[in-house]
Amino acid sequence: MPSSTIIITIVIVILALGFDFINGFHDTANAIATSVATRVLTPRQAIIMSASLNLVGALISVKVATTVGANIIKPEFMPQIAVITMLISSICWNLITWYYGIPSSSSHALIGSLLGAGITYNASFSIVQWGNFMSKIVLWLFLSPIIGFCVGFVFMKILNVILSPFKPKSISKFFCKAQIASAAAMAFNHGSNDAQKSMGIITMALVSGGLISDFHVYTWVKVCCAISMALGTSIGGWRIIKTMGVSMGKLTPVNGFAAETSAAAIIFTATMLDAPVSTTQIISTSIMGVGASKRLSSIRWAVAKNIVWAWVVTIPVCAIFASLLTLLIKML
């Protein structure tokens, strides 16, 4: 095995774990924003709980890892240099959106960068398994926000009917405790879907570099990615927490419970269907749906519009950036 291949592989592993780390603090807000906004948990308590459950969730499955690392573009069409440009593009986008407090999708950034780097390096669109891309990525890209909004809206309406005989004070007291459970479920499911994406990329690089012959996610890859995301989660992301949990609309504990439970159920379903979804997209629209169940004006639509724009541009912008990086490296 050439020493250069080993060195490049080490660089890829470091970059992928860096992406996971950034994903941890970038997307921590997805799991804890509503709990912090409703003051059920302090930021410190929420981050510790989220980090622990992200770690556990990341170890339960490799279905999403296989989708990202082998079922969109096969490893043989993704040489290690293309994997590097893909990761650099994704990391840059995550850092930019984190800095400005925009809850964009790390998943969409990675998928967009994967397409841009792979297509450009091979100068061919045929390397993409378009059937899988449409069913696992595009379908969920469009369905996730609709499902998130509708489930949040309907679930909150049902809760309102069930809770109507009870006093507001007793409702608030109960859901202050219940929301801890819903936040825990959200954190666990975030880890189970998001950490797998880096596992898939590392395994893709191992296959394309000739270090392993078949796509198999080894235990050391799982553990490293899980720990990296948990460490990133422990850093937290207050900018995005503020946007998600405060700026979009006022939330009560029962609202937070409804949004988190809805989002956790949707993410769990997607993970079981091997789909690498955007946890940001799902929890954001669940919050919107819960807010809209009271009245549409309760949602701060200007903030929501900015978030939607970030979703729309993430895949094409990251694809273009990864493509340009790949062209630049090929020219050197």
**Residues 48, 234: contact at Cβ < 8 Å?**
yes
SS3 73: strand
**Residues 318, 93: contact at Cβ < 8 Å?**
yes
pLDDT at 121: 97
**What does pLDDT average to in each consecutive run of 10 residues of the chain (332 residues)?**
84 96 74 72 79 86 92 95 97 88 82 97 96 92 88 96 91 89 90 91 95 93 90 68 55 88 95 89 87 76 71 91 96 83
Structure-derived torsion over alpha carbons of residues 67, 71, 75, 80, reported in degrees to the nearest 10: -50
Within 8 A by CB and 6+ apart from 4, the residues are none
Where do the H-state alpha helices sit in the chain? Answer: 3-37, 43-58, 63-70, 80-99, 106-122, 130-132, 139-163, 168-208, 219-235, 238-242, 253-272, 279-292, 301-331
Q: Which pair of structure tokens corresponds to residue 151?
A: 């489930």
| Predicted TM-score (pTM) of this structure | 0.88
Distances (CA, A) of 269 to 272, 274, 277, 317: 5, 9, 10, 28
pLDDT at 71: 94
